Structure 1
Amino acid sequence: MDKIVDIVRAIGEPTRLRILVLLARGELAAGEMSTVLNQSQPRVSRHLKLLAEAGLLERRPEGAWVFFRLKTDGSVGRIIRAILDEVDKDDSILLRDLERLAQVQVQREELARAYFETAADEWHALRRLHQPEALVEARLVEAVAGENFGLHIDLGSGTGRMIELFAPQARRAEGVDSSRKMLALARARLDDTGSGQASVRQADILGLPYEDNCADLVTIHQVLHYLPEPQAAIKEAARILKPGGTLLIADFAPHAFEELRQVHAHRRLGFPDHEVTNWCEQFGLVVDAVEHIAPEAGQSGLAVTLWKAQLPPNRPAAVTTKQLESRITS
């Protein structure tokens, strides 16, 4: 009883209820919520603190930012869902909040898109500065050594390096990216390498234009840290994988280089092992291996983590879109 009373008391204030409605749409930073709610950040932070203390929110400090997401499991998750189900979807205040939220999301996308368009020409130099690139690529290839794939799909393909890297093992490959300039560079690269069975296309990696259970290999290389909802990309990867298919993820380990967010549009400053592993498992994947790769002695750069996961071959071809959507919202 005490727990339920604490939860209801925490929610029982208009601004805090508005916060729950917003976070039901996905993870947000404290500053973003301040913009959406049109309130000062100290005031919003106080409301967030009370909600977090009541166990309704997960709080994730990262550099100079703090991100929040709703608790979705157990009795807390059930209570939150029950309350949100009763919220009037036509309430004028909530509609205004959602309009501002859409504007914030558009600004996020425009910032990332502008960065990619301006940085495309120096993409390779940036990659070499930020990580032990050759070693990461070698480990990715080793992770699936001796395997052959009918269809390889690379999410956030950039200049097409992952397609090129796995070309000897894939009968056909497609890369997906939202930047026209990146796609042009990728097409030029694939033309130069003679990868006749490879192509790239413009699409949203969070809403892929592929049927369920179509890919044998999916790669997500240094993409998740740009996304406001990185688990949504893993959800899509799991959806399009065939039973027995493989997902390879490479991204930064946690770090404190705030400049990457400010200058290079990084949304996340790396990922702890368990976070990506939990996302994979949430969508029916089994994580086979996690490996850490640090720069060699005397070299600068950030540590990188590799995750290898598979969709179990004995699962019915039925990690369907509807099932995955229910998992991400439940």
Structure 2
Amino acid sequence: MNLLESLRYLAALAEHRHFGRAAQACHITQPALSNAIRALEDSLGATIVRRGRQYEGLTPEGELALAHAHRLLHEAEGLRQALASRAGAPAGRLTLGVVPSAEPVAARFCALLQALHPGLQPVLRSLSSPEIEAGLDALAIDLGLGYTDRPEVRQRQLAVWPQYEERCHLLTAAGPGDGAAEAPFRFGPPVSWREAAALRLALLTPDMHFRALADEAFASAGVAPRPALETNSVLALLMAVQPGAAGGLAAVLPGALVSVARSRPGLVARPLASPVLRTPIGFLTSAGGRPTLALQAALAVAERDDWRALVAAHSGALEGADPAAGPFSA
């Protein structure tokens, strides 16, 4: 039995929560993955996976084995990177967990990182804030991009690398007074949360941290919206606003999605005010474990002036910034 491979299969099973999908991610057959997990159980002398007609989770012994697996796999990846990397040319895998509202920023970061270091293989995963925090703690992911002011970040003593302040916008279709549906995207004047609550809104689902922040802003304005559409997909939230649609939906968006909306004509983004909501977003790293060369390279890129300019233009922090400026603006 190859112990590291078996631990990698265990980590994949815990991530995908399905034998078939885990086997596909590991590029092996489902029977091969199942046999490897059983061999690992025999080697450890404990049942680590609860099985019924399908995967039902890990046993307490399995959770302990998974924690050790993440650490061993992290050390093994660090060793591979150290052996494969030349001076100034890091190579290897970097797993980045990102909250959905920051996905456009994270995608641009990975593109810039890979362009600067072709030997790196960024893996971008959309995760909730608790999943990012737990993943960093367990060394299951290398780097997070998320909300840095959450109490859990301080409790876990995660290292924070500030990036930008997330601001909220209301995205609507251009009205008759704003020009045709083919008119270029534009920013409109601020709108209050109270005014926004009266519209047919598309919002993220209540389990998402951005929605919790938006609900707090609505409550502070003395209103409670009744959303016409809820989704946990930031793409669906963006596409819910259709130019030229009579009586269509408006969406409450994080600033990073506004940058994506700018490519669509017939839309208007208005900053939400009364109150103005500013939430810090940053990179997060684990306080434990030795940083791999890939992680060191990523953090160095996060400090570069060209990245700082790029994130300012695409995070919604600067409404007047030109998204065509700088590299990787698409």
TM-score, scaled to structure 1: 0.31
Which is richer in helix? 1
TM-score, scaled to structure 2: 0.31
Task: Give the greater-gyration-radius structure (CA).
Answer: 2
